[in-house]
A and B are shown apart, each in its own frame.
Chain A
């Protein structure tokens, strides 16, 4: 069939479109020269430069810490929400649902400036001189990442059926031990996938972080932004290449976890879908 072949060729082109620009960034991370646009031989020196630049390593550290804290809090809040929602009465559930979706669809710039105005004014109101810092980034990130986790976990929770939970209750177990022994093990892959998503979204977030950060808390995307606006060196490419590697590892882990859980039980929930 020619239509099929044509589409196959098109798909190849589409994947080239998706990956060629990223590949260019990675290739130029290995450039020996100072300029991002002129190839001057293979070298790994920009990786060394990146890893020896304190601004980059400190920013990386801060980004990882915020992303971890965010993933943790988002997993707890999101999972609790996902467990509570399905059995709520519609008039309670609908507004909560709407609220959770709103956190995901509000244009990020609007949320970012709202959070900025809120943190500054509420902070000044309670007598804080500089209310902005890593704490405010963390708080703001949890807002939309709790919804991400809730979305992923809830899909799994609803699709897996409740017969085991029913049996556990009928045999006299309370909600807490039922959660620990039955629900948590079954939901673990979904919670992990949601947590990984929350981690990457926080790790990559620029707009919200940029607006609610203080002068002393620079995450990696904020650092990169500054470099992009005021002159790049291949050290940025090297940093980007390392971030890509990082994300790829997370994706592969998530994929393997979900595939394993998908083989054990029917139905996979692909994160992000």
Chain B
């Protein structure tokens, strides 16, 4: 479009349109983006700017914020992270662990399912829709469901005489319960991009490799896996990123006993009333996430160059 000759623009309307037709681009004016962009700037970027500024402030009195432009909050967090007690360090490491375990478990559970739907299933759209439906139902309700199912008094356990066994496992309100809830709630987000990648695979390639003597696992590793990789990466991002701020599941299934970045931030706003510290924590999460994504993008770019 930028290559469009200047003379064409000066031409009559019809000729003008014809010259555009060659570029094949749609013809709606760019200012149509203005309302959405203004909304994003005013209600998304500016609020992020507000917490950036607030993170350099301090609390005065009960919950008022004084804008002192001090680095105290960051210094406090840094001292803790490199210090001996490492309260916040533990919480950030817990968050990293939750995000990694959550991503890997949805990948392990989701891959065979997406593979089956993409390669073998007859009613692909229906089966895919059945994966999406839980994703569209309330996140809270899905977490609540596990509150019932993981209870040692859950009728099925009592009927099976497993109550004692389950009780000894003591799942509810432990990190294990959180992991189960995370794997459950985030599974659809992983399956969708996996399916999208697997669905495009030409399976005759895999069959050809096997006909030429590759055992199934090697055909999988050499053909299916590389072709599915974009889906694996997209799904991992979709699960990993929101998990860094996960708030609901640690509270409902973890009994708010194990702290992660998400419920730590929430606590500063709901209970401690320390908005500056909460804002600083949020900035740390955004910063860490941005760095992680940049590293990820670079690794991806390098891999594409080599592949």
Residues of B within 8 A of A17 (CB): 109, 184, 187
Q: Are B35 and A157 in contact (CB under 8 A)?
A: no
Secondary structure call for the A interface: helix
List the A side residues contacting B237 at CB < 8 Å: 105
A150/B149 contact (C-beta < 8 A), A38-B155, A162-B24, A162-B25 known: no
In the bound complex, CA of A229 to CA of B14 (Å): 66
Is A251 part of the contact surface with B, judged by Cβ < 8 Å? yes
Q: A7-B115, A77-B39, A107-B244 are in contact. Are A89 and B1 (CB under 8 A)?
A: yes
Q: Find A165's partner among B27, B149, B155 (CB 8 Å cutoff).
A: B27
Most chain A CB within 10 A, of B65, B145, B242, is at: B145
Complex: A166 Cα to B20 Cα, angstroms = 9
Among the listed stretches A43-51, A54-62, A200-208, which one makes contact with chain B, having 4 or more residues with CB under 8 Å of it?
A200-208
Interface-facing stretch out of B69-77, B78-86, B130-138, B222-230: B130-138
Q: Report the separation of the CA atoms of residues A250 and B33 in the bound assembly, to the nearest whole angstrom.
A: 28
Q: Decide yes or no: A113 and B132 within 8 Å by CB, A25-B148, A77-B35, A207-B248 being known contacts.
A: no
Q: Chain B residues with Cβ under 8 A from A81's Cβ? A: 32-33, 35-37
Chain B residues within 8 Å of A253, by CB: none
Please measure, in the bound complex, the distance between the C-alpha atom of A4 and the C-alpha atom of B173, giving whole angstroms: 38
- Interchain CB contact under 8 A, A113 and B27: no
Contacts of A4 in B (CB 8 A): 120
Contacts of B40 in A (CB 8 A): 99-100, 103, 143, 146
B140 touches A37 (CB 8 A): no
Chain B residues with Cβ below 8 Å from A77 are 35-36, 39
**Is residue B278 within 8 Å, beta carbon to beta carbon, of the partner chain?**
yes
If over half of B's interface residues share one DSSP class (helix, strand or loop), that class is named, otherwise mixed; here it is: helix
Q: Taking each of A3, A166, A259, which has the highest tally of chain B beta carbons within 10 Å of its own beta carbon?
A: A166
Interface mask (A230-262 → B, CB under 8 Å = 1, otherwise 0): 001000100010011001101100010001000
Q: Check A117 against B279 for contact (C-beta < 8 Å).
A: yes
Flag if A83 contacts B28 (CB, 8 Å).
yes
B26 touches A88 (CB 8 A): no
Which residue from B28, B51, B144 sits with its C-beta under 8 Å from A84?
A: B28
Q: How far is the CA of A85 from the CA of B29 in the complex (A)?
A: 9
CB distance from B77 to the nearest CB of A (A): 16
B192 — nearest CB in chain A belongs to which residue?
A: A273
B91 within 8 A of A: no
- What's the tally of chain B residues with a CB closer than 8 Å to chain A? 95
Establish whether residues B116 and A87, one from each chain, have CB atoms under 8 Å apart when the complex forms: no
B46 touches A25 (CB 8 A): no
* Complexed CA–CA distance, A4 and B116 (Å): 8
Q: Is the CB of A110 within 8 A of B245?
A: yes
Residues of chain B contacted by A80 (CB below 8 angstroms) = 32-33, 35-36
Question: Residue A106 at the B interface, CB < 8 A?
Answer: yes
Residue B196 is within 8 A (CB to CB) of chain A in the complex: yes
**Is the Cβ of A170 less than 8 Å from the Cβ of B14?**
yes
Q: Choose from A8, A99, A157, A244 the contact partner of B26 (Cβ within 8 Å).
A: A157
Q: Is the CB of A36 within 8 A of B148?
A: yes
Closest to B138 in A: A204
* Partner of A272 from B120, B136, B241 at Cβ < 8 Å: B136
Q: List 24 A-B contacts (CB under 8 A).
A: A18-B187, A37-B155, A81-B33, A84-B29, A86-B26, A96-B33, A103-B44, A107-B245, A110-B48, A110-B51, A110-B285, A113-B269, A121-B50, A142-B39, A143-B44, A165-B26, A166-B17, A166-B20, A221-B140, A228-B140, A228-B144, A251-B132, A272-B132, A273-B128
Closest CB pairs A-B (n = 9): A107-B245, A21-B145, A118-B47, A84-B32, A84-B33, A114-B47, A81-B36, A83-B28, A77-B36
Instruction: Mark B residues whose CB is within 8 Å of A.
Output: 1-2, 14, 17-18, 20-21, 24-33, 35-37, 39-41, 43-48, 50-51, 54, 65, 109, 112-113, 115-117, 120-121, 125, 127-142, 144-149, 151, 153-155, 184, 187-188, 192, 196, 216, 237, 241-242, 244-248, 251-252, 262, 265-266, 269, 275, 278-279, 282, 285-286, 289
A interface residue numbers (CB < 8 A to B)? 3-4, 7-8, 10-11, 14-15, 17-22, 24-25, 28, 36-39, 76-78, 80-81, 83-89, 92, 96, 99-100, 102-103, 105-111, 113-119, 121-122, 139-140, 142-143, 146, 150, 157, 162, 165-166, 169-170, 175, 178-179, 183, 200, 204, 206-207, 211, 221, 224-225, 228-229, 232, 236, 240, 243-244, 247-248, 250-251, 255, 259, 268, 270, 272-273
